[in-house]
Amino acid sequence: MQYVCKNCFTDKELNGFIISQGKMGNCDCCKSEDIETIELIELLDFFKELFDNFQLKADGKSLISSIQGNWNLFSNLDCGHKILNEALNQTASAINNSDDLVDFSDEILENINYWSVLKEQLKWERRYFTNIEKLTEDLGWDSFFESKTTINNDETFYRARLHQNSQEETYPIDKMASPLAIYASAGRANPIGIPYLYLSDNEETILYEVRASYLDEVSVATFTKNEEYQSEIIISDFTEIPTLYHPNWVNKKIKSTLLKQLISRDLSKPMRRYDSEIDYIPTQFICEFIKTFTNVQGIKFRSSLHNIGSNLVLFNQETMKCRNVKKVQILKVHIKSRDL
């Protein structure tokens, strides 16, 4: 196999490279014709760098499933197997086949697993004098949150408040923002006394997020960017499909993807009624870390309660403005259980 084409991959950075550096021809991998192609040899340095970040592991995952599961690099598994096996044949690697069982290198695992160590330290050992230098200088975490997006003027977000009594009036607009600092309780992202604005980009998702139950009445507010806020609203985006094709930076991109997956999972965990505020300290810390070292106005991450939508946490509620509020009633709830 000599030539591959843009249709073989879904990675937007790699596709961009093929389009800019390739030439029109026929693909030896997916058999597309008259399309931008490039010689596979031109990608071998990238694949060699990629392979160097894995190690053989008897209880690991296949190489292709690890790559596809985290980055969806290839357009389909058939192309993935063909290209990986050809690249493995042409590079020096301890891995021989795309189906070989692997794990990430010890250096990568040590880096991302420090999140578990840090969580325990923050909760039970030290909270206000954490070793920031280790996170930035040793682990490089301050550079792992570079994937950012901007909130557009026409984007709509939602916030909900449960009513405590039946037939209660719809909450007014000025009661749908974050509480005053003196009343702000601790949340997944914000410490006690420091209010953040929690929104969702999907109206149904926000009803799941406030744990609305059958026949509950809920005030649902609509938010858009505040026209009085002149600067861009830049947020750290945990929902964006990560790219892997970054020559000389593959190691960093792998760490960034894996660490953000762990943090996003913790941020999106439902707040259970028996949770302790101590459980929120690690995610509160990492939000402040991101806020400080990336200078963003918020974080966007997937909802674990309703995966159609994403949640948005804004550090400064003045960036958004409530436009209207309506009252709804929950008419149906679907509950699914599992044995523990």
**Phi, psi (degrees; rounded to nearest 5) at 291:** -60, -40
Whole-number average pLDDT of the chain? 93
Q: Residue 329 is encoded by which pair of tokens?
A: 């009633």
pLDDT digits (tens, 9 = 90+) for 220-258: 999 999 999 989 999 999 998 889 999 899 999 999 999
Cβ-based neighbours of 210, under 8 Å, separated by 6 or more: 160, 161, 162, 218
What pLDDT, on the 0 to 100 scale, is given for residue 334?
80
pLDDT digits (tens, 9 = 90+) for 76-129: 999 999 999 999 999 999 999 999 999 999 999 999 999 999 999 999 999 888
What pLDDT, on the 0 to 100 scale, is given for residue 165?
87
What pLDDT, on the 0 to 100 scale, is given for residue 101?
98
Q: How far is CA 139 from CA 112, 131, 250, 282, 287, in A?
A: 9, 11, 15, 17, 17
Whole-structure pTM over 0.85, yes or no? yes
What pLDDT, on the 0 to 100 scale, is given for residue 32?
96
Query: Which of 45, 22, 106 minimizes the C-alpha distance to 246?
Result: 45
Inter-residue contact 192 to 277 (CB < 8 Å): yes
- The rounded distance, in Å, linking the Cα atoms of 41 and 74 is 17
Burial class (CB in 10 A: 0-12, 13-18, 19+), 173: middle
Q: What percent of the chain has pLDDT over 70?
A: 99
Locus of tokens 């600067």: 231
Q: How confident is the model at residue 314 (pLDDT cuts 50, 70, 90)?
A: very high
Q: What is the DSSP string of 4-47?
A: EEGGGB--HHHHHHHHHH-EEE--SSS---SEEEEEGGGGHHHH
pLDDT digits (tens, 9 = 90+) for 46-79: 999 999 999 999 999 999 999 999 999 999 999 9
Residue 273 pLDDT > 70, yes or no? no
* Position 252, amino acid: K
Would you tell me how many other CB atoms lie within 10 Å of the CB of residue 169? 9
Cβ-based neighbours of 192, under 8 Å, separated by 6 or more: 184, 185, 186, 277
